[in-house]
Structure 1
Amino acid sequence: MDDEPSILSALRRLFRPEGYRVLLAESATAALALLETEPVDLVVSDMRMPVMDGAQFLEQVRRRWPELVRILLTGYADIGATIAAINRGEIHRYIAKPWEDQDLLLVVREGLTRRRLEQENRHLQRLTAAQNEQLQSANAELERRVLARTQEIAQINGFLEQAYAELEQQFLLSLDVFAGLLELREGGSAGHSRRVALLARRTAERLGLDPPTCQDVFSAGLLHEIGKIGLPDALLRKPVSTMNGEEQARYRQHNLNAEAALLALPRLQRAARFVRWQDERIDGRGLPDGLAGDELPRAAQALSLAVHYHGLLSGRLAAKRLGPTEAAAVIKQGAGLRYEPAVVAAFQQVLAEAPPEVESDWLIAAAELRPGMVLARDLLSPQGTLLLAAGFCFDAHKVRQIHEFIERGGVRLNLHVRRPPPTAATEAAHESAHPAR
């Protein structure tokens, strides 16, 4: 911008060969109007202008178009105005008149380069900001998907754990039922195997054995007589002490037969070994392998002790049945011979800490059974076989089965169920139905 047409023409001639698009204005007003309508990158203004001088004009440009490059043409006598332009218009460069063409071209070229770099920088900043926003959005979406997938996997794992727990419960219940079926033979004692299994497991727990081992001891206790399935009833009716040599040799094979029957089931591999070793002794005089000392695991000793103790109580080992105190004394005599002293000590602690009947359980008739109730103790048939294990939660289908069972069999069946969390309504309803319990 300049008010002298000759200077404007000189500037046009100077810049046109450079390929620049040049817009000319003879006043600040005209220049501002051009800037309103035309895209411009750089402004060159003379200092001495009527109405509005160059400093004032460039101040207006800075305020309204701060990104434009601003250059001032000024004479040597206008140093004060030049300082004002620098301070108020924040000009990028000033050129003294008369100018050197190459100097002016260089300044303009540098200004336009700066303008282009600033534009590219702003473009890159906008692009970076947009990409960062997209990345944040993508990260948020990824986090949402990961969270959703994690929750889905956790839910699946929960279902699997529940299914596994139910499968494990059904597996153990199957062992319990099978043990009960073996006890239906002539001379069998209902619940014997489960009593052995419970005592063996509690002894193993008292010894500090890990839960999987304790569970294997329990399974071995339930199945410790499975090898007797092929023995005649007449032999099983005899106490072991009254058998002759041939009968005892045949009878002692039941441990090996039981192991052979169980080895096909991977879940029962260790339980099968414990069953095999139920007649072993730590002094090496046991059967069938003559294990001695540390060769005989404490888990197997816990099973052997429980079998021995309940065998003395039931008359399976000797013609005379012993009472609990006498049988416990016999077990104690075996410390250091049949069993490690620590195993016998754990057994004695288990007997001393035998839990009393749970007073908080409710005893109800089978006809009072409702869905949602949880079995507090094992449910046995009138013959002593296990129907359902403690901890079973009744649903409508199982309740209907129990009701049909007692109706078809014409039997009376009572169950111990867990007392629900107390509420005024449940307590009042139960007390009114069972005032004497």
Structure 2
Amino acid sequence: MTINEQDSMSTSPSASTAAAPPTILCVDDEPNILSSLRRLFRPHGYRVLTAESGAAGLALLEGEAVDLVISDMRMPHMDGAQFLAQVRQRWPGTMRLLLTGYADIQSILDAINQGEIYRYVTKPWDENDIVLVVRHALERRALEQEKQRLEALTASQNVQLQALNASLEAKVATRTQQLKQSHDEVQAANERLKATFVTTIKVFSNLIEMRGGKLAGHARRVAELARKLALALGLEGQEARDVFIAALLKDIGKLSLSDDVLELPASAWTGEQLAAFRKHPLRAEQLLMALDELRTVSVILRSQLERFDGGGFPDGLVGLAIPLGARILALASDYDGLQIGAMVQRSLRAEEARSLIYDSVGKRYDPAVVAAFRSIMDETEPPARDLTVLSGQLEPGMVLSRDLISRDGLMLLAAEHVLTARVIAQLLDFEGKNGGRLSIRVYAPPKDA
């Protein structure tokens, strides 16, 4: 038994760096058969190894990378079927061919079943046929290896893609949480800004009312009634808020009027004083025109003295041509003005003021606004969620349900203000210095607030 290796390219140093030629192992117990196979395949660029027995072939396979094995069927000690079966078990990627020189169907079936051979070739073989069979076998092996490589590459890339997706999902979740938190913070800041804006308007309204004693608390009461009318007429959100703010600022144009005009009721004015008074809506519009946030408010204030029948000022608008906010403000302002003596020479009772308003429906006032006013006056007050307490009963964490107003009509704190120990101490000190108790409306915030 001999082991021969024929490979003129294997000794070249540069060949090892190039693509290695396919390696074929020929196993046969007849040396002349091995020589014939070696001479046949060498011109085709194959690296040819030979072994004269199955055992020798297995030993050679343990140390060499072989692409294809050609084994004779009839060999002593270990026939081709047994040899190829071991090759399949230990080196399943190696292609296997069987040479058989006799018509033994059972032996061929054994080789097919046990060794899972690619093809079998009968002796004597046709050289072109066997070369073609070997080439096809090697091409199939190359395709299978490429398929395995691509599958492994795909599996590896899938793992990487899954890891990348998981990483991206985590990053997206983190970024989404950050954006949500930022959005919540911006929204909270915006709500605080809105609350501060309204509180500033209330403070400014108080400053306006300091011009005359009768006006203390007037704008605040008008604003509350105007807000209820706006909601009853279907306004909400920004529209209702504009009506509320317009009511708070309704007297801003009166800052230019003299004290005697402000102290006298409207029924006692001279013609010159009445003419000066009728200009205050225009001044109010001019004062607020530069503020985009109050552009709609300025339009309402301009039309607050218009009459539904067209006899008002400054534009003589008729009916629905008058902005709805101005129609609401006119009624709300007159209702409170009649009760504080700002329109006639005596203060009217609430029912007397209501009677005058009902008599002027369709003339001075919009019938729809009057209808909403009637419904508000007729409905019962819903149960309050808040309580009236004395300053000594205040506790940190309580929230003002209404603006805190002093006896002389000044707003000390705005509604929804959260009381702290410091603020409570200031209120107690204020009462001590001014010699009077405050009526404070508060509620306890929800436990999860």
TM over 0.5: yes
Partner AA of 1:417 in structure 2: V
Q: 1:59 to 1:364 in 2, by over 3 A?
A: same
DSSP-derived class of the 2:69 partner: strand
1:24 aligned onto 2:53: no
Instruction: Quote the Cα distance in structure 2 between the aligned partners of 1:11 and 1:403.
Output: 116
Q: Alignment partner for residue 392 of structure 1, among 389, 394, 417? A: 417
Residues 187, 236 of structure 1: 8 Å contact kept: no
1:211 aligned onto 2:237: yes
Instruction: Quote the Cα distance in structure 1 between the aligned partners of 2:402 and 2:157.
Output: 65
1:380 aligned onto 2:405: yes
Residues 176, 222 of structure 1: 8 Å contact kept: yes
1:302 aligned onto 2:328: yes
TM-superposed CA distance for 1:410, in Å, is: 6.2
TM-superposed CA distance for 1:282, in Å, is: 2.3
Instruction: Quote the Cα distance in structure 1 between the aligned partners of 2:327 and 2:294.
Output: 17
Instruction: Quote the Cα distance in structure 1 between the aligned partners of 2:62 and 2:395.
Output: 87
Give the corresponding residue for 1:55: 81
1:346 aligned onto 2:372: yes
Higher RCO (Cα < 8 Å, 6 or more apart): 1
Give the corresponding residue for 1:106: 132
DSSP-derived class of the 1:45 partner: strand
Residues 187, 233 of structure 1: 8 Å contact kept: no
Alignment of 1:232-311 (within 5 A): 232-311=258-337
Give the corresponding residue for 2:146: 120
The percent identity for this pair of structures is: 51
DSSP-derived class of the 2:47 partner: coil
Instruction: Quote the Cα distance in structure 1 between the aligned partners of 2:247 and 2:260.
Output: 23
DSSP-derived class of the 1:23 partner: strand
1:297-346 deviation per Cα after TM superposition (whole angstroms, max 9, x unaligned): 22221111101111111111111322111211222222222333221111
Give the corresponding residue for 2:38: 12
TM-superposed CA distance for 1:357, in Å, is: 6.5
Residues 366, 415 of structure 1: 8 Å contact kept: yes
Instruction: Quote the Cα distance in structure 2 between the aligned partners of 1:285 and 1:362.
Output: 45
Partner AA of 2:405 in structure 1: L
Q: 1:126 to 1:400 in 2, by over 3 A?
A: farther
TM-superposed CA distance for 1:147, in Å, is: 1.6
Q: Which moved more, 1:333-342 or 1:121-130?
A: 333-342
Q: Which moved more, 1:123-132 or 1:27-36?
A: 27-36
Residues 364, 417 of structure 1: 8 Å contact kept: yes
1:90 aligned onto 2:113: no
Give the corresponding residue for 1:2: 28
Partner AA of 1:86 in structure 2: I
Residues 327, 365 of structure 2: 8 Å contact kept: yes
Q: 1:21 to 1:310 in 2, by over 3 A?
A: same
Residues 239, 315 of structure 1: 8 Å contact kept: yes
Alignment of 1:110-259 (within 5 A): 110-259=136-285
TM-superposed CA distance for 1:295, in Å, is: 1.0
Instruction: Quote the Cα distance in structure 2 between the aligned partners of 1:85 and 1:398.
Output: 100
Give the TM-score taking structure 2 as reference length. 0.88
Q: Which moved more, 1:233-242 or 1:51-60?
A: 51-60
Q: 1:148 to 1:316 in 2, by over 3 A?
A: same
TM-superposed CA distance for 1:379, in Å, is: 1.1
Residues 182, 188 of structure 1: 8 Å contact kept: no
TM-superposed CA distance for 1:406, in Å, is: 4.8
TM-superposed CA distance for 1:354, in Å, is: 5.6
1:62-112 deviation per Cα after TM superposition (whole angstroms, max 9, x unaligned): 223222211111124222211222223221111111112221111111111
In structure 2, stretches of 5+ residues that fail to align are 1-26
Residues 240, 318 of structure 1: 8 Å contact kept: yes
TM-superposed CA distance for 1:405, in Å, is: 4.5
Partner AA of 1:382 in structure 2: R
DSSP-derived class of the 1:22 partner: strand
Q: 1:83 to 1:349 in 2, by over 3 A?
A: same
Q: 1:223 to 1:94 in 2, by over 3 A?
A: same
Partner AA of 1:386 in structure 2: M
Partner AA of 1:248 in structure 2: L
CA RMSD, Structure 1 to Structure 2 (Å) = 2.2
Instruction: Quote the Cα distance in structure 2 between the aligned partners of 1:420 and 1:372.
Output: 7
Instruction: Quote the Cα distance in structure 1 between the aligned partners of 2:224 and 2:388.
Output: 22
1:74 aligned onto 2:105: no
Instruction: Quote the Cα distance in structure 1 between the aligned partners of 2:226 and 2:388.
Output: 27
1:328 aligned onto 2:347: no
Q: 1:182 to 1:112 in 2, by over 3 A?
A: same
DSSP-derived class of the 1:150 partner: helix
In structure 1, stretches of 5+ residues that fail to align are 423-437
Q: Alignment partner for residue 340 of structure 2, among 299, 314, 321? A: 314
TM-superposed CA distance for 1:60, in Å, is: 2.1
Partner AA of 1:5 in structure 2: P
Partner AA of 1:199 in structure 2: L
- How many residues are paired up? 422
Give the TM-score taking structure 1 as reference length. 0.91
1:33 aligned onto 2:55: no
Q: 1:18 to 1:407 in 2, by over 3 A?
A: farther
Instruction: Quote the Cα distance in structure 2 between the aligned partners of 1:120 and 1:169.
Output: 71
Give the corresponding residue for 1:432: none
Instruction: Quote the Cα distance in structure 1 between the aligned partners of 2:142 and 2:186.
Output: 63
1:178-232 deviation per Cα after TM superposition (whole angstroms, max 9, x unaligned): 1112222233332110110110111010000131100000000000001111111
Q: 1:152 to 1:276 in 2, by over 3 A?
A: same
Residues 80, 111 of structure 2: 8 Å contact kept: yes
Partner AA of 2:92 in structure 1: P
Residues 397, 444 of structure 2: 8 Å contact kept: no
Give structure 1 regions of 4+ aligned residues with deviation exceeding 6 angstroms.
Answer: none
Q: Which moved more, 1:26-35 or 1:342-351?
A: 26-35
Instruction: Quote the Cα distance in structure 1 between the aligned partners of 2:265 and 2:364.
Output: 20
1:153-191 deviation per Cα after TM superposition (whole angstroms, max 9, x unaligned): 111111111111101101100111111122222333321
